[in-house]
A and B are shown apart, each in its own frame.
Chain A
Amino acid sequence: MKNYLRGILKKNEFYLFMIMVLMVIVMSAINPNFGTLENGFDILRGTTFIGICSMGFLVVLITGGTDISFTATATVAQYIMALLMVSNPNIPVVFVILVPMVIGAVLGSVNALLINRLKVPVIIITIAMLNTYYGAIQFFSEGEWLYNFPEWFADFPRILLITFKNEDGVAYGLTSLTAIWILVALVTSVLLRFTMLGRKIYALGGNQTAAGREGIHVNRIRIFAHSFLGLIAGIGAIVHAMVTQTAAPNAIVGQEFNAVAAVVLGGASIAGGGGSVLGTLLGVLLIATLKNGLTVMGVPAYWHQVFIGLTLVISISVTAIREKMAKKNAGGINVES
């Protein structure tokens, strides 16, 4: 029992959680409207898109890679999905859901193939692909917005799985979209922790050469990881369109670093080989809570970026320092994860 507690104390997630609890206490003291269940559910709904995408990005980051083109992937997937719905309002639901996921996975695997072949810094390739996908969709769409989607598409995001009522009698609670996020997180968690594939993903990020010598198909794992991110970006694209009820070719690109920040804040190693779903969830929630709290506390908007930046720097520093200390104490051998 004592060992178990000490284990928790060592975890990065524990510190993130504590920071969040502290934040909630301080913010609620300043404005009691912050610490309400209703606000909590609003935060969850508001950050669902970034939350979903960060799960895919986590997997790629663990392999030791990176891929910031997922926002462009999501844009392409979303626009094509929207085109389908606008051109034929009676299009089968399955189609609307599968098409963006398949497009996402295909575009993701294209990235991985380029990375496997070209051996250039990954970030350069993904920046290039971000521009390629984004430019292509700008060209084909001519910047035109799509809206007026079928009724079910507008109704689905309004479904509440857990319902409460506020004093005005307005229903709020866990939305279907947040539930999708939770589902994606669960699947990612199972994949990373309980499957051979998941362990290989960690192995690849830990030491690519060693992983290769052990007979792991490095290139195949990479293709899987990037396709997975693409597929998740496709899911994110559906959710995003459900929230905004529009498909604008310029609405998503530019948000990639929100997901990157959340994943890194969640304790995932930029060098690869480390990171967890729980940490990423906490990272996403921490940033979302901070953003929400700053407005609710009435902090002038000019200061928001500064606060968010500072929080990131401090959290990441704490993680880095703790890792350094842990390594010293363990004599240079990192047993865990």
Chain B
Amino acid sequence: MKKLKVAFSLLMVCAMLISVLSGCGQPAPVSSSAPASGSAPASGAAPDSSVPSEQESMNIVFVPKLIGIPWFNQMENGLKDFAKEAGNMSISVSGPAEADPVQQAKVLEDVVATKPDCIIVVPNDTKVLEPILKKAREAGIIVITQEASTVENADADIEFLIMEQTGKQYGEALAKNMGGKGGYAIMVGGLTVESHNARADAAVAYLKGKYPDMYEVTSRVEGSESVEQAHDKTLELIKAHEDLKGILYIGSNGALGGAAAVREKNLAGKFVIAGTSLPSQAKPYLKDGAISDNLIGSPYNIGKATGYIVQTLKANNMDINSVKEVPIYEATLADNTLIIKGKVITFHTDANVTYENADSFGF
């Protein structure tokens, strides 16, 4: 019995150690994040050196929501490639290790202290960053934000979604594969996810106007955040509605589950699955048509477009109206694919993912 007790206490110590260690694991990156993030880009594009150019070189620091995820890595690559082509820009990256407003504020403060020419920031929480952005602008730093349309202390904010265009893209993804008629359903991540439902509403509105022979067979369904749930719900919907010809999935896992379900029932290519999944995950399903259409923005192109806007603004004394087009997206003020309201610049970045181009998205 005594032996057993000793063994137990040893195990206990191990268990405690494990839990203590894993508990402590969490805060560790916080303290190390700031210095680590500075060296993350590795490519040697330090803000103060590199670009051997006769014109004055513009030092730009990119502060994403967090570093180390494919989305922002690709955006960084886009920015850097644009800078290389432009010749008079140099890009460095500094960001928190987690998508945490407080950590990001700390990183941003450090960045402001180095006095770069321009900061491009994607805020986790705009309000938290406002005082620091104010300080940056007072120090003469150009401040550009992404997806922060309510920002006050910025020279310009860039948005990537025009709702009518989303409605058209989503609607067409269903309509062109369904031949413009028949019943469809829309699966969102959750019935209360506002951004998903707004996009779903836009698709329904577009289809109502353009394809009167198409109709929703049921009210909104939820499950697009889980492969498993989307799979099961898809099978159920197919059984429930004999006139159902296609489903639109808003949420990154929906189409993956739906595609698995139609493959299982030999319906790949016959039943329409349109989604918004990650290109690398959708790719195998795009090959045999289990996913008929997949729409998502390319962070690489977004990076390039952001670089273009910074360049244009800088060349025109920060006059927001000097931005008349975004070539990479063929967006122009003239045909309303580029919208400028106050200091908010909006254009639409979702693009069709195909089996062939899936790898070019880089995530």
Q: Are B219 and A168 touching (Cβ within 8 A)?
A: no
CB-CB contacts of B227-247 with A at 8 A, as 1s and 0s? 110011101110111100000
Interface on chain A toward B: helix, strand, loop, or mixed SS?
helix
Interface residues of A in 286-309 (CB under 8 A from B): 292, 295-298, 300-302
A334 beta carbon closer than 8 Å to chain B: no
Q: Compute how far the CA of A168 lies from the CA of B25 in the bound complex, rounded to whole angstroms.
A: 53
Q: Compute how far the CA of A314 lies from the CA of B158 in the bound complex, rounded to whole angstroms.
A: 53
A135 beta carbon closer than 8 Å to chain B: yes
Contact of B239 among A39, A114, A135, A145 (CB under 8 A): A39
CB distance from B27 to the nearest CB of A (A): 10
Q: Are B221 and A170 touching (Cβ within 8 A)?
A: no
Q: Are A110 and B240 touching (Cβ within 8 A)?
A: no
Q: Are A31 and B25 touching (Cβ within 8 A)?
A: no
Q: Compute how far the CA of A142 lies from the CA of B220 in the bound complex, rounded to whole angstroms.
A: 32
Interface residues of B in 1-33 (CB under 8 A from A): 8, 11-12, 15, 18-19, 22-23, 25-26, 29
Q: Are A113 and B11 touching (Cβ within 8 A)?
A: yes
B191 beta carbon closer than 8 Å to chain A: yes
Contact of A114 among B15, B69, B240, B266 (CB under 8 A): B15
CB neighbours (8 Å) of A49 from chain B are 228
Q: Are B265 and A33 touching (Cβ within 8 A)?
A: no
CB neighbours (8 Å) of A243 from chain B are 227-228, 231
Q: Compute how far the CA of A292 lies from the CA of B233 in the bound complex, rounded to whole angstroms.
A: 8
**How many residues of chain A have a CB within 8 Å of chain B?**
44
CB neighbours (8 Å) of B219 from chain A are 300-302
Q: Compute how far the CA of A113 lies from the CA of B236 in the bound complex, rounded to whole angstroms.
A: 43
A150 beta carbon closer than 8 Å to chain B: no
Q: Compute how far the CA of A246 lies from the CA of B285 in the bound complex, rounded to whole angstroms.
A: 14
Q: Compute how far the CA of A116 lies from the CA of B237 in the bound complex, rounded to whole angstroms.
A: 48
Contact of A117 among B12, B233, B241 (CB under 8 A): B12
CB distance from B237 to the nearest CB of A (A): 6
Contact of B26 among A34, A36, A42, A139 (CB under 8 A): A139
Contact of A298 among B68, B191, B218, B228 (CB under 8 A): B218
Q: Are A244 and B241 touching (Cβ within 8 A)?
A: no
A221 beta carbon closer than 8 Å to chain B: no
A311 beta carbon closer than 8 Å to chain B: no
Q: Are B23 and A132 touching (Cβ within 8 A)?
A: yes
| A131: nearest chain-B partner, CB-CB | B23
CB distance from B176 to the nearest CB of A (A): 24
Q: Compute how far the CA of A264 lies from the CA of B69 in the bound complex, rounded to whole angstroms.
A: 41
CB neighbours (8 Å) of A116 from chain B are 8
Q: Compute how far the CA of A267 lies from the CA of B202 in the bound complex, rounded to whole angstroms.
A: 47
Q: Compute how far the CA of A39 lies from the CA of B236 in the bound complex, rounded to whole angstroms.
A: 8
A37 beta carbon closer than 8 Å to chain B: no
A83 beta carbon closer than 8 Å to chain B: no
Q: Are A33 and B226 touching (Cβ within 8 A)?
A: no
Q: Are A42 and B191 touching (Cβ within 8 A)?
A: no
Q: Compute how far the CA of A46 lies from the CA of B219 in the bound complex, rounded to whole angstroms.
A: 22
CB neighbours (8 Å) of B119 from chain A are none
CB neighbours (8 Å) of A301 from chain B are 191, 218-222
Q: Are B8 and A113 touching (Cβ within 8 A)?
A: yes
B281 beta carbon closer than 8 Å to chain A: yes
Q: Compute how far the CA of A279 lies from the CA of B67 in the bound complex, rounded to whole angstroms.
A: 49
Q: Compute how far the CA of A1 lies from the CA of B22 in the bound complex, rounded to whole angstroms.
A: 59
Q: Are A300 and B228 touching (Cβ within 8 A)?
A: no
CB neighbours (8 Å) of A176 from chain B are none
Q: Are A110 and B236 touching (Cβ within 8 A)?
A: no
Q: Are A296 and B239 touching (Cβ within 8 A)?
A: yes
Interface on chain B toward A: helix, strand, loop, or mixed SS?
helix
Q: Compute how far the CA of A297 lies from the CA of B218 in the bound complex, rounded to whole angstroms.
A: 11
Contact of B22 among A135, A219, A245 (CB under 8 A): A135
B260 beta carbon closer than 8 Å to chain A: yes
Q: Are A298 and B241 touching (Cβ within 8 A)?
A: yes
A17 beta carbon closer than 8 Å to chain B: no
CB distance from A288 to the nearest CB of B (A): 9
CB distance from A146 to the nearest CB of B (A): 11
CB distance from B363 to the nearest CB of A (A): 11
Contact of A42 among B22, B23, B232, B257 (CB under 8 A): B232
CB neighbours (8 Å) of B26 from chain A are 135, 139
Q: Are B235 and A142 touching (Cβ within 8 A)?
A: no
CB distance from B229 to the nearest CB of A (A): 9
CB neighbours (8 Å) of B227 from chain A are 243-246, 248, 251
A153 beta carbon closer than 8 Å to chain B: no
Given the known A-B contacts A139-B25, A298-B241, A302-B191, are A129 and B19 also in contact in the complex, defined by CB atoms under 8 Å? Answer: yes
CB neighbours (8 Å) of A15 from chain B are none
CB distance from B231 to the nearest CB of A (A): 7
Given the known A-B contacts A142-B68, A170-B266, A301-B191, are A135 and B23 also in contact in the complex, defined by CB atoms under 8 Å? Answer: yes
| B25: nearest chain-A partner, CB-CB | A139
Q: Compute how far the CA of A251 lies from the CA of B232 in the bound complex, rounded to whole angstroms.
A: 15
Q: Compute how far the CA of A133 lies from the CA of B236 in the bound complex, rounded to whole angstroms.
A: 34
Q: Compute how far the CA of A133 lies from the CA of B15 in the bound complex, rounded to whole angstroms.
A: 12
Q: Are B25 and A136 touching (Cβ within 8 A)?
A: yes
CB distance from B240 to the nearest CB of A (A): 4
CB-CB contacts of B56-93 with A at 8 A, as 1s and 0s? 00000000000011000000000000000000000000
Q: Are B239 and A33 touching (Cβ within 8 A)?
A: yes
A sample of 23 cross-chain residue pairs with beta-carbon separation below 8 angstroms, ordered by A number, consists of A31-B239, A33-B239, A36-B239, A42-B232, A46-B228, A110-B11, A110-B19, A113-B8, A113-B11, A113-B12, A135-B22, A135-B26, A139-B22, A139-B29, A143-B69, A169-B266, A244-B231, A245-B227, A298-B218, A298-B240, A301-B191, A301-B220, A301-B222
**Chain A interface residues (CB < 8 Å from chain B):** 31, 33-34, 36, 39, 42, 46, 49, 109-110, 113-114, 116-117, 129, 132-133, 135-136, 139-140, 142-143, 145, 147, 168-170, 219, 240, 243-246, 248, 251, 292, 295-298, 300-302
Nearest 9 A/B pairs, CB to CB: A136-B22, A295-B236, A46-B232, A33-B239, A244-B227, A110-B15, A296-B240, A300-B219, A170-B266
